[in-house]
Each structure stands twice: as structure tokens, then as C-alpha cells.
Structure 1
Amino acid sequence: MSAATDQTPAAEKKNIAAGVDAENIASNQRVISGALGIALSALCALYTLFHVWSMNLYPLEPWIYRITHVGGGLALGFLLFSAHMLSDDSNAPGRRSALGWIMLAAGAAGVLYGLVAMLTLWVSTGGRSGFGAPQPPEFVLTFGIPLLVGTALTVLTSWLFPARRRSRLDPADVLLALAALAVALYFVYYAPMLRLRAGTGMALPSDMYASMVGVLLILELTRRLAGLALVIIAAVFVVYAFVGPWLPGILQHRGYSMQRFFSYIYTDNGILGPTTAISSTYIILFITFAAFLQASRVGEYFVNFAFAAAGHTRGGPAKVAVFGSGLMGMINGTSAGNVVSTGSLTIPLMKKVGYRPQSSAAIEAAASSGGQILPPIMGAGAFIMAEITGIRYTEIVVAAIIPALLYFLSVYFMVDKEALKNNMKGLPRSELPKFRALAKQVYLFAPILILIVALFMGYSVIRAGTLAMGAAAVVSWLTPFRMGPRAIFYAFELAARMSLQLVAVCAAAGVIVGVIALTGVGTRFSSMLLAIAAQNQLLALFFAMCVSIILGMGMPTTAAYAVAASVIAPGLIRMGIDPLTAHFFIFYFAVMSAITPPVALAAFAGSAIAQSDPMKTSVESFKIGLAAFVVPFMFFYNSALLMQGPWYEIVHVVATAALGIFLLASAVQGWFFGRVGTVLRLILLVAALFMIQGGWMSDAIGLGAAALVLTIKKTLLTPERVARGLD
């Protein structure tokens, strides 16, 4: 469904970013037309509207709201995304074998039994639960085993006998959507009583079976939308809950019965806990905001503005990627997804002006990943941190300003020095949008400005996000792409599609968080961290960095940070590290895992577009984003980088850290007012590290070392002397 009419060819020439806001279709995503396609679009739009309405006008009880959020997301996810890659070929296999149909029929019997039982429960009791409610029919309480067996058989059928046509719904996935609905109906009905009995000896077998089906559906949808990494980690944690009594050392615990564990995990201590609280509010709100920007094509304006401002400079498309991808990554909150959208434009243009394929992909990956540390939205990271730590959102956003500035300065210096080193030019001005014309449309930045101003005026995050969303629609009326009812409907539909991955991922992360809370392994791991580090904070931070990166490899940032914060942050705080510093440290490395070899999802996404070697691209992206691996240690040693301290100290550390970042980029790229050799690069690296530390003595040493390199460069390594040396 198109949100706006197409541009004329003449206008298209001025719109170099045309198509950057187009929806990216995943390899396993269905695209269904006709009446069924319209019905699915309507369900998606209603899912988003439910959240916007509940957050702003009619708040629901938190458990019921979150259960509906997860259940609706699961149902839509199974309808829209297949268990395997799909084909546009109408001749692709569309029929199952006899065994496939037998398995599907058996699965359907179990799922439909469970769904009918839940519908009967609601109808026979009039939706009234608790004491004094009518007794439901006997068969209602036996729904669990048939539903679990039917769901498991249906999942197995979707794996073994997939329907490959993109334009058709798979009956197996329809059944899985109905199973998700049955689970949601059960938990919504019994929510008041589950608060009292879940995780205790009073839990019912039906609580356990409903939860087991819910966990199975969550892990299967996570596999479809985010890959196997998070599924394997979550499954290991689930197994750990039962094998704990036979494990050694800190891993040992007394063990839990199936009934107690599964009834506990589907509460606000697990799946319905902090991760789902965030995905059901802040994440879906700002994804809807991003969808409004996308549907109104304001996102195109951001990229066009960057091209008009920097596209003509040396290595122009790379600098556009730094600014444009950083801005878009801040809003949509997924590194790899942002690489696919903006990278489809910037990567070919970077290759056109002379960047190597792997460098083009690496620059885009580093910029897109950096968007998640860019305030005020930080890819929803700021809201997750506020929820977990209890620190005010505005305090987190202010603290993030300088580290984000240093990161993007570093990436900018990296791409600029590579352009200098290889004598690259920018794009011809004739191929670029006219800056003067775009400057007249600077009001299109109004949604971002309104968001920032509203937040600092004291409005709630939800109210500020809703105002920004409305502003995106209003400013579109001043462009050729006015958002009418059809475009607004498309924006709500698009928001649901964009949010499904994070809904599944946050629910799966909730499983892990629930196991950590139930078994207490997080506290014991923190104690072990303290013992190993022997009260050495730097060593503890090094371990925290390693754990955050390993968890983040193959996992979206939101899940990686939530899990790492549960396991590592308590130990760091007990060692005396400030809570804000500890959580920022963990969050930074969870983000940077997307560009860290050997599993660098953002770099791999870029390499697919650039047709480069994935491993070489991930190494290159690590090199370009190297500052992000230094900045967290910087703000650990000097809290002024988190805006904590007197203004003159903040100005001092920003100036010296920026110079240190410049020297670091010079050392990595081998360019400091001209090419420099290995020895001088090592001296520059030492100078950079001293400058980054932020003390007066270290600054003096860093400046002295940099001056030494410059002096050698200007006096001993002149072109004439080098030429004589060649004779």
C-alpha cells in the first residue's frame, strides 16, 4: 500500500533519497493482496491503535495490557512471517504431503480444543473471574494438554512441511496465531488470581500449560524474526532452572517444579516484566513515530538534507551515512534494519566515489549502530535504562550527549581521513539536492524538535512521543506528500510490522530475566565478578565489556542490554561504580556488539548490500567504531563526560577528549597531516590514550607526543628528504 503518490521524474532527480523510506520485505515475510491482505493490514493498524489509545486515553491494568501486547504481537507475527524463506514464484511448493496434513490435522484438533475451551470460559462466566464467579464447564480446565500438544505439532509441521508461497497464508501459522489468542484469553481472564498464586504451591496445572504454550510460541516467533542466538540462550536458561541441583559452584540452586517455574515465568517477574513493559510502551510508541516519519517521507528529507550539506565534500556519501544513518538509527532502534534501509542508498554511492566495498558497508554499519547511543531517543535504550535503574529519563539523555558526540566525531574523522588518504572526491553538485531549496523546508525537523522540547518541559515520554507523532503528520501537509486518512492508516499498519521483532525479542529476554530472578544466579554471578576482580574496578569493567559483547552477538540491543544489566550491573554497583556509569557502560558495549567480530549483525547486513566479505567487513566496522570501545572507559574515569560536574570541567574534558579522538583516528588510518608510518602511528595512539584520560598531566603528555609527531612530520619527513632517501 503506497502512502503517497509518485514524484515526477524532474522532481525525482532532486530527491536522491527517493525510496529510502520504503518498507523492507524480509525473506520470510508474507505479502498478501486482495481482501485478505486488507484484513491483515487492518489487524496491524488496530494493534498499533490499541497501544496509542491505551497509553494516552484509556489506560488498562498493566498485566492485562502487557498480556494483550504479547498475545497480539504473537498472533500477527505468525500470520505475517513464515518459518522458512518464501518465494514469489507461483510454482513454489504450496501443498503438503499426506503426512504433513495428518500432523496438521492433529495439531488443529488440539489448538482448536484449547481455543474453544477459552471462548466457552469467557461466555459461560460472563468474563467474571475470581471468587463468586460462575463455575466454568469441566472441560475448560482440561484445555492445557491438548493445546500444548497441538501447538507443538503445529510448530513441527511448519518446520518440516513449509508452504513457500509469499502470497498465501499457511494454515499452520493460522493455527499458531489462534494458539496465541487462546493463551492470551487464559491469562487475561485469570490475571487477578495469577498475581496471588503464580510461582507458588497454589499454582494450577492449567497455569503451567498455558505458560508453556506461551513460551514455546515466543521462542518460535523470536527464531523467525531475530534468528537462533537469543532462542538458544533463552532455552539454556530454561533448562538451567531444572538442572541447577546437579550443577557445581555458583550455578547450583535447589531446583523448581515444572508447575512452579512456568507459572512464575509468565508474570511481571519474567515475560510480563521490565522488558515487555518497555516494548509495550516506549518502543512501540517510537516505532510508530518512526513509521509516521517514514509514511510522510520526512525520513527522505533528513537524508536529502545530509546529502545537500555534505554530499559534495570529499568522501561525501560516507559523511552523509554518518549523519543520516545516525539520525534514522536513533529513531528506529535496530542497527541491522537501519543498515538495510539507508544502506541501500549510501553504500552504492560510497563505492561510486572510491570507497572499497567493505569500507562502505562498515561505515554504514558503524553509523547505524551509533544511532542507538544518540539522544534523545537512543533507539529506545534511554527508556529501557530509565525503567531498569529508576533514573530520570532526562538525566539519562543529558548524560548521553557527550559520549554520542565523541563517537560520531570519531566515525567522521575516520571516513574523512580515508578520503584524504585515497584522494577521494564528493558527488557532483549537479547530482545532489539543492541545499537552498531544502533549507526552506527546515520545518520538517519540527517533529524531532517538538519531542526534545516537550521532554525537557516536563511532559511524560508517552505524551511527548505522541505530540511528535502528530507533528510528523501535520508537517507533511506542507509537502507534496500530505498524510491523509490512507497514509495515516498505512503508518499505523507499518508500525505494527516494524514492532513485531522487538515484541518477540523483549518477551524472550523476559524469559531469561525471569530465570535470573527466580534462581538468583545474577546475584551469585555478581559476587563471582567481585571475587575475580578483587575489588579492581577496571578489571571488573573489562569482564563486563566481554559479557555485554558476547551477549549482544546475534541479539538485538534491547535484549542484550536487559540481560547484561540483570547479570552484571548489580556487581559493578556493589563495587562502588555509579549506577548511571555502570548501566551506560553495559549499554554501550551491548550496542557495539553489532559491529564486533566474529558475529557483527549490522556489518553482515551491510556486506550483503556491498557484496563484500562479511568477516572483512566486520573487522573494518570494528576499526571505524573503535572510539566506542574507548569512550565507556573515558566516562568511567571522568564523570564530567556524563555531564556530571562543574561546567568548566565539562568543557575541558570535551575539548581534550575530542582532540584525543582525532589523534586516535589519525593513528588507526595512518594519516596525520599526511601519511605516517608505523612508529609515528604508535606514538599517536599513545598520545590519543593520554588525551582521552582527561587529566591535566595526561593532557600535557598527549599534546607533547602529538607535537613531536607533527614536528617530525614537518621537519624530518619533508617531500624533499623522502625523495632523496629514494635515490
Structure 2
Amino acid sequence: MTISKGERSVSNNEGGIIQRQLKGAVGGLFFLFAICITLLHLYLLNFAAIDPWLFRAMHLLCGSMLGFALIPGWNQKNLGKIHLIDWLAILASAIIFIYIYYNIDQLIFRAGVTPTTMDFVIAIVGTLLVLELTRRTSGWSLPILSLIFIAYAFLGPYLPGILQHNGYSIKRFFSYIYGLDGIFGVTIDVSSKYILLFIALGAFLQASKVGDYFINFSFSAAGGLRGGPAKVSLLASGLMGMVSGTSAGNVVTTGSLTIPLMKRVGYKPQFAGATEAAASTGGQILPPIMGAGAFLMAEMIGISYKEIMIAAIIPALLYFVSVYFMIDLEAIKMKLRGLKRSELPKMKDLIKQAHLFIPIVVLISAILMNYSIIRSGTIAILACLVISWFSKQTRMGWKKTAEALAGAARSVVQLISICACAGIIVGVIALTGIGGKFANLLITLGSSSQLLALVATMILAIILGMGMPTTAAYAIAGSVLAPGLIQVGIEPLFAHMFIFYFAVLSAITPPVAVAAFAAGGIAGTDPFKTSLQAFKLGLAAFIVPYMFIYSPSILMKGSFYEIALTILTSIIGIYLLACAVQGYFFGKARWVQRIVLLIAALTLINGSIFFDFIGIALALLAFLINKMFPDHLSSQDNNVKF
């Protein structure tokens, strides 16, 4: 059996967004426009750099024009025609760009300082367009949060305590926000330079059938194991999720295939949806691409992306290992088997197509050879195109190439709007100084207990990330919280990775878990209950960020011996935690065993050899309890493939 895109239940939208199906001359015009957007970005990034503000404004213009044309704002019945209001929004977006183009030399000096009336009008209209586009692409959560921050900028003089500030005039505020410190700041910079590039790479991976190869390879490798489709979901969604900009978008892409198969072998709908949500979310922390947040991290910290990519390897491994243990223990408890080998793609056939892995190998190699991220991504796109011609089934002709280029532009609209809207919040944080006040609060907590400061950071990062894609969640949380952690003595890379990890995990954290909600819809079950199950599956992963702090070798800092020992003890600790959560440890675990296993797992988080021995001793105690008072679920479990 070979799984192809045509055999899947494919949504008629990009990442869950309802899009218009434009036809005729208008449809052809915007199809060509989408192609030109991707080609223009690739050309400017590689061959003809322009002023950063102008490039970012062009990037936002492209996203706005395509977004207002393709994504309806309210009535979703007539999807074949662009509404008059949308045409006006497109026109307004074009006028704003033209104004920036002709006035950029003056705007650099007067924006946010001495703006003219026209500067103010352009800024406020542009900000409203960003909020509306974000509402259409991502719902209300991020625009509402942005409006709260905007209100805070004007209400500051009337607020108590650390929230108080002097306030700003409306002209100064909006001209500042619609400048290089706000909407056109670091978030849209990352979007314009990296996100579209790697969305294009993802589109070419799909068009060249590399994406289908990932899924087929996953089925062949893991489909026959107990609870096979769940393990396929973990592997396939991780591979696909690393090139996806959002966890929810990845759920829609791969979940339409994996969730029905999980239900078919016996997993409950809630568990099937939760597994897909957890797997898709993990793709955001999987090198070499890590969704898009890692590029933003590199810009915010000011270090090379290669260093971040290397540091993220072990945390990503631990995340997927932790979810694997959870779904494997569930399969043991439910006595689930895998798919029949006759139902799975043959590995010998897949080995003949191993050349389809070359684009990813090329990407990783180029990064490790110190090519720029832009050049590495471009080379990987070209590799996809070349590799596709090795076989008639994968060959990308003019039509497939054009569809991949247009699809990249359509898919990136949501992330452009998210990054622009997140820029509003980042700008308010910088303008009002609220980020520094939060940093002081964390410093105060850290002076009494570093762990307390970390727990507070975790909670705030998850809250800030709820209902938002990873890129926006990390941009906001990193701006507010990272300075405080750094000032309590945590290295910048460690602090940002800690925050990034929890910004990612917010996608499976109730009550607003966007990835779990998307998976629940596909599974046909209660989204909130699915989110609770996803949270349970990812519970072991919530411990991993603390390992960054207490075992720095997890981020590849230290000797080979230290790194190897940390990996070993961390995997053991995560397994014990999974056993405690699932209530199974070589048989059904009693509550006393689960408590012992939990304590053992927590002791193994610490990098100390002393605590490692305590953890192992406690694990042996839990095992002896099982032997002394046996209560196994089934004597047949050992006959099932792991």
C-alpha cells in the first residue's frame, strides 16, 4: 500500500482557513500574482537586497492583497467573488505601500517622533488592516490581545503599580507602532526573510512528493508496531511539522489520514486526535527547520541559526520519545496491535526512492557548512526541483512548479498577518517599558528561588501563547519574559529555548489548545476533551525545559560523556514519568508505585550523579513492588511488538 495525497481527505482550504475559489480572469490574475510573490521574494533575498523597511512593507502588501482577495471576512457562502469592501482593503494596502515607498527617507527619522497628519492617517489605517487580516486568518484571539495592549498604551497613566506609565499621544503612538519598532519590526522581518522561504520549501516538498514519501516511510517503519498508526502519526507529523508554520495547520494536513487509521485499530477518538495534536505540535521544535520560531529566536538573541539548530536536537528527541512512551503504554493497556504488513508500503520499494530525502540532507549540510539560512533554503528548493525529475511519478513540470509557487504564497498569508499583528504587541512592550517591569518581577522571584521564576515564566508563556500560532506566541513571550530570566543568571539561549518550548506546548494546553481543537474536529469528538488528553500525552514534555536549566548538556553544552549521560538519564526519567501518568509499569501500577515513579522521574531531571542514583533506586523500588504484588494487565503483552 502506498499512501498518496489523492487517497487522503484533503481540505479545501490552506491550514484550515476557508478560502475563496476564484475563477475566470480574476482567479487567473491572483494565481499569477501569488506566483510572482514567491518569485519576487526569492529574487530579492538572493540577488537584489533592498531597504529593510521597504522590503518588509512589500512583504506585508503582498500578504494583505492576497489575503483580502482570498479570505472572506464574514459571508462565506459566495466564495467565487471578491466583495467590494475587500477590493477597497486591497486598494488601501497598495496606497499605504506607495506612501511608504515615496516617503521612506523622511519616515525613518520622524516616525514615532514628529509624525505628520498624513503619517498618522496611514499608520492608523495600516494598523486596522493588519488587525482585520489577522482576524480573518487566525480568529479573534490575537487581534483582541493586540487591542488590549493598544488600550494599555493610552490607559497607562490611570493604572496602578508596575502597570503605570506616562501615556502617549495618539499620533505618536500609531506612527511608532506602524514603524520599524512595531509592525515592521523583528517579527515581520523574520516572516519576510525566512518564513516564506521555508513555506515555499514545504510546498516544493509536497509537489515533488517528498511529503508523501515521509508519510509512506513512516507507515513502513512504524505501522506494524503495536498501536502502529499512532506511532506513524508521531513520526510523519514530526517530519511534516518541522516545515509547517503552525501546529494546527500540520494537524489538518496529516491528521486527515492518521486519525481515521488510529480509530480503526482501536484507539478512542479523543486519544487519536490528541496523539495527532501532540505529534504535530512537536514538529515545531524539530530541527533543522523548527517551524518558523527558531529563525525568530536567532534574530532576538543575535546568534547563528546553526547554534540553535544543534541545541534543539536533544530537546526534540526527548519530546518525541516522551509522547512515544505515552502512546505505547496506552497500546499495551488496550492490547492494540499494528496494521498488517500487507497493508503497509514495502520498505524495499521505499529504499529505491531514498533520493527523495536528498533535499533535507542538502538543507542540513548547507547550514552546517555555514551557508546563510536564505541560501541554504533556496538550494534545498532547487534540490527538490532537480530530484523530482529522477522519476516520472514525482516529476515537477511547469504546472506543478507554478502550483507550488502559488501555494507557498497562499499558505504564508496567515503567518504574515500573525507576525505583523504580533509586532503591535512587541512595539507596545518596547514603547511602554512593560517588558522591563515584568523582567524586574521575575528578578524579584528569582532572588528567592530560580525555580519559582521558571515556573512563573512557564505559566505566563503558556497563557500568552493560548489561541495563537507558535511564531506569535514566542515573539510576545520572548519579548516580555526572556530579559527577566537572563537577568536572574540564565544564559540567553537557555532562557529563549525555555520560553520557546512552552510557547509551542501552549498549542496542546487547555483551555485554548488550537492544535487539539483542530484534531478534535477531524476525530469527530469533543475538542476540549481532546485537548485534555493531548495535555496528558505531552505532560512528560513539560518537564523537558527544566532540564535545560538543571542539565545544560541537554543543549549540547559540555563534554561528550556529559551529553551522553544526560540523554540516557533523561530518557529513563521521561519513561518513568510516562509510566506514572499512564499507571503502567511492567503491569498495572498502584498509586504508591505511581508516586514513587513520579519522584524518581523528577530526581533524574537534575544533572547530579547523586540524584541520578536516587532516581534509579526509586525505579527499582517501584519494580520490586510490582514483583512482590503482581497485578499485570495481560500475560500476552510481551508477545506484542514494541
Does the pair score TM above 0.5? yes
Letter in 2 for 1:184: F
Aligned with 1:568: secondary structure? helix
Once the two structures are TM-superposed, the CA of residue 14 in structure 1 deviates from its matched residue by 2.7
Structure 2 residue 363 is the aligned partner of structure 1 residue 451: yes
Letter in 2 for 1:215: T
Partner deviation per Cα, 1:546-580 (whole Å, 9 max, x = no partner): 11100110111111111111111111111111111
Q: Please, what is the CA RMSD of the aligned residues?
A: 1.6
Aligned with 1:191: secondary structure? helix
Equivalent in the alignment of 1:714: 627
Query: Please, which of 571, 591, 594 is the counterpart of residue 507 of structure 2?
Result: 594
Query: Please, which of 558, 583, 589 is the counterpart of residue 676 of structure 1?
Result: 589
Equivalent in the alignment of 1:628: 541
Equivalent in the alignment of 1:486: 399
Equivalent in the alignment of 1:292: 204
Structure 2 residue 552 is the aligned partner of structure 1 residue 639: yes
Structure 2 residue 444 is the aligned partner of structure 1 residue 531: yes
Equivalent in the alignment of 1:436: 348
CA 1:297–1:719: 2 relative to 1, 3 Å? closer
Equivalent in the alignment of 2:21: 31
> Aligned equivalents of 1:288 and 1:22: distance in 2?
19
> Aligned equivalents of 1:195 and 1:16: distance in 2?
51
| Pairing 1:109-124 to 2, within 5 Å after superposition | none
Query: Please, which of 299, 324, 327 is the counterpart of residue 236 of structure 2?
Result: 324
Whether the 8 Å contact between 2:198 and 2:243 is mirrored in structure 1 is: yes
Once the two structures are TM-superposed, the CA of residue 493 in structure 1 deviates from its matched residue by 0.3
| Pairing 1:265-280 to 2, within 5 Å after superposition | 265-280=177-192
Once the two structures are TM-superposed, the CA of residue 18 in structure 1 deviates from its matched residue by 4.2
Structure 2 residue 233 is the aligned partner of structure 1 residue 303: no
Whether the 8 Å contact between 1:24 and 1:341 is mirrored in structure 2 is: no
| Pairing 1:389-428 to 2, within 5 Å after superposition | 389-428=301-340
> Aligned equivalents of 1:704 and 1:387: distance in 2?
44
Equivalent in the alignment of 1:118: none
Q: Percent identity?
A: 54
Whether the 8 Å contact between 1:21 and 1:300 is mirrored in structure 2 is: no
Query: Please, which of 498, 513, 517 is the counterpart of residue 604 of structure 1?
Result: 517
TM (norm. structure 1) is 0.85
Once the two structures are TM-superposed, the CA of residue 84 in structure 1 deviates from its matched residue by 2.3
| Pairing 1:564-583 to 2, within 5 Å after superposition | 564-583=477-496
Query: Please, which of 235, 249, 266 is the counterpart of residue 337 of structure 1?
Result: 249
Whether the 8 Å contact between 1:28 and 1:83 is mirrored in structure 2 is: no
CA 1:617–1:448: 2 relative to 1, 3 Å? same
Equivalent in the alignment of 2:2: 14
Letter in 2 for 1:525: F
CA 1:525–1:607: 2 relative to 1, 3 Å? same
| Pairing 1:178-257 to 2, within 5 Å after superposition | 178-201=91-114, 203-257=115-169
CA 1:187–1:429: 2 relative to 1, 3 Å? same
Structure 2 residue 53 is the aligned partner of structure 1 residue 63: yes
Letter in 1 for 2:208: S
Whether the 8 Å contact between 2:576 and 2:600 is mirrored in structure 1 is: yes
CA 1:502–1:394: 2 relative to 1, 3 Å? same
In structure 2, the gaps of 5 or more residues are 636-642
Whether the 8 Å contact between 1:28 and 1:84 is mirrored in structure 2 is: no
Equivalent in the alignment of 1:476: 388
Once the two structures are TM-superposed, the CA of residue 297 in structure 1 deviates from its matched residue by 2.0
Counting matched residue pairs gives 631
Partner deviation per Cα, 1:555-612 (whole Å, 9 max, x = no partner): 1111111111111111111111111110001000000000000000000000001011
State which drifts further: 598-607 or 262-271.
262-271
| Pairing 1:88-107 to 2, within 5 Å after superposition | none
CA 1:712–1:269: 2 relative to 1, 3 Å? same
Partner deviation per Cα, 1:356-376 (whole Å, 9 max, x = no partner): 000000000000000001111
> Aligned equivalents of 1:51 and 1:605: distance in 2?
31
Once the two structures are TM-superposed, the CA of residue 692 in structure 1 deviates from its matched residue by 2.4
Query: Please, which of 267, 274, 288 is the counterpart of residue 355 of structure 1?
Result: 267
Whether the 8 Å contact between 1:657 and 1:694 is mirrored in structure 2 is: no
| Pairing 1:510-529 to 2, within 5 Å after superposition | 510-529=423-442
Structure 2 residue 600 is the aligned partner of structure 1 residue 687: yes
Query: Please, which of 447, 451, 456 is the counterpart of residue 543 of structure 1?
Result: 456
Once the two structures are TM-superposed, the CA of residue 71 in structure 1 deviates from its matched residue by 1.4
Aligned with 2:243: secondary structure? helix
Partner deviation per Cα, 1:240-279 (whole Å, 9 max, x = no partner): 1112111112212111111111111121111111001000
Partner deviation per Cα, 1:91-142 (whole Å, 9 max, x = no partner): xxxxxxxxxxxxxxxxxxxxxxxxxxxxxxxxxxxxxxxxxxxxxxxxxxxx
Once the two structures are TM-superposed, the CA of residue 532 in structure 1 deviates from its matched residue by 4.0
Letter in 2 for 1:396: I
Equivalent in the alignment of 1:703: 616
> Aligned equivalents of 1:675 and 1:440: distance in 2?
43
Once the two structures are TM-superposed, the CA of residue 718 in structure 1 deviates from its matched residue by 6.4
Equivalent in the alignment of 2:639: none
Partner deviation per Cα, 1:191-219 (whole Å, 9 max, x = no partner): 11101111113x10100000100000000
Letter in 2 for 1:166: L
Letter in 2 for 1:426: G
Equivalent in the alignment of 2:638: none
> Aligned equivalents of 1:554 and 1:716: distance in 2?
46
In structure 1, the gaps of 5 or more residues are 1-12, 87-163, 723-727
Letter in 1 for 2:353: Q
Partner deviation per Cα, 1:622-673 (whole Å, 9 max, x = no partner): 1111122100011111101111011111111110001111111111112212
Whether the 8 Å contact between 1:353 and 1:427 is mirrored in structure 2 is: yes
Whether the 8 Å contact between 2:359 and 2:381 is mirrored in structure 1 is: yes
Whether the 8 Å contact between 1:199 and 1:260 is mirrored in structure 2 is: yes
Once the two structures are TM-superposed, the CA of residue 705 in structure 1 deviates from its matched residue by 1.2
Aligned with 1:378: secondary structure? coil
Aligned with 1:379: secondary structure? coil
CA 1:327–1:584: 2 relative to 1, 3 Å? same
Letter in 1 for 2:64: L
CA 1:509–1:264: 2 relative to 1, 3 Å? same
Equivalent in the alignment of 1:509: 422
Aligned with 2:604: secondary structure? helix
Deviation above 6 Å: which 4+ runs of structure 1?
none
Whether the 8 Å contact between 2:550 and 2:605 is mirrored in structure 1 is: no
> Aligned equivalents of 1:583 and 1:233: distance in 2?
22
Equivalent in the alignment of 1:72: 62
CA 1:218–1:719: 2 relative to 1, 3 Å? closer
> Aligned equivalents of 2:595 and 2:221: distance in 1?
34
Once the two structures are TM-superposed, the CA of residue 15 in structure 1 deviates from its matched residue by 2.6
Once the two structures are TM-superposed, the CA of residue 691 in structure 1 deviates from its matched residue by 1.7
Once the two structures are TM-superposed, the CA of residue 82 in structure 1 deviates from its matched residue by 0.4
Letter in 1 for 2:38: T
> Aligned equivalents of 1:316 and 1:360: distance in 2?
12
Aligned with 1:69: secondary structure? helix
CA 1:718–1:604: 2 relative to 1, 3 Å? closer
Once the two structures are TM-superposed, the CA of residue 535 in structure 1 deviates from its matched residue by 4.3
CA 1:85–1:538: 2 relative to 1, 3 Å? farther
| Pairing 1:642-657 to 2, within 5 Å after superposition | 642-657=555-570
Query: Please, which of 641, 660, 669 is the counterpart of residue 573 of structure 2?
Result: 660
Query: Please, which of 33, 36, 59 is the counterpart of residue 46 of structure 1?
Result: 36
Query: Please, which of 59, 69, 88 is the counterpart of residue 175 of structure 1?
Result: 88
Once the two structures are TM-superposed, the CA of residue 340 in structure 1 deviates from its matched residue by 0.8
